[in-house]
Amino acid sequence: MRPPCETMMKESLPILRSLIVKDLIEKYGFSQVEIANKLGMTQAAISQYVSSKRGIKKSTKLEKSSKLKIMARQIAKDIAENQQSDFDVTSRLCELCLGHREKKNAR
């Protein structure tokens, strides 16, 4: 049995990254190399998010999640304004996971 966070991150993390990458490019004019450096990823991985080979294409319900979109926009804004640490991103991902689990348990 997999821990809930592992499952959630396998599903949500690529979508969240995809949304963040697209915001950083479209709203803030970042290059793929700049984003790769900020997110600790390769430029090739960023390119796959941009072309929807990763993230959004595998999404269904999660892509439509307004909470996920709001979180992605805020993280992208904070990254663009240099107000985002690795710890902050991790904390937000934990909030997302906990919120999803609470919603699931409420059913």
Mean pLDDT by 10-residue block, N- to C-terminus, for the chain (107 residues)?
73 83 95 90 92 67 68 89 73 72 64
CA distance 89 to 95: 10
At residue 26, the pLDDT reads 95
Are 63 and 56 within 8 A, CB to CB? yes
At residue 104, the pLDDT reads 62
Contacts of 33 (CB under 8 A, 6+ apart): 43
Q: Is the pTM of this model over 0.75?
A: yes
Give the total number of structural domains in the chain.
1
What domain range includes position 88? 4-106
Q: Is 69 left (phi over 0), alpha (psi -120 to 50) or beta?
A: alpha
At residue 54, the pLDDT reads 76
At residue 102, the pLDDT reads 67
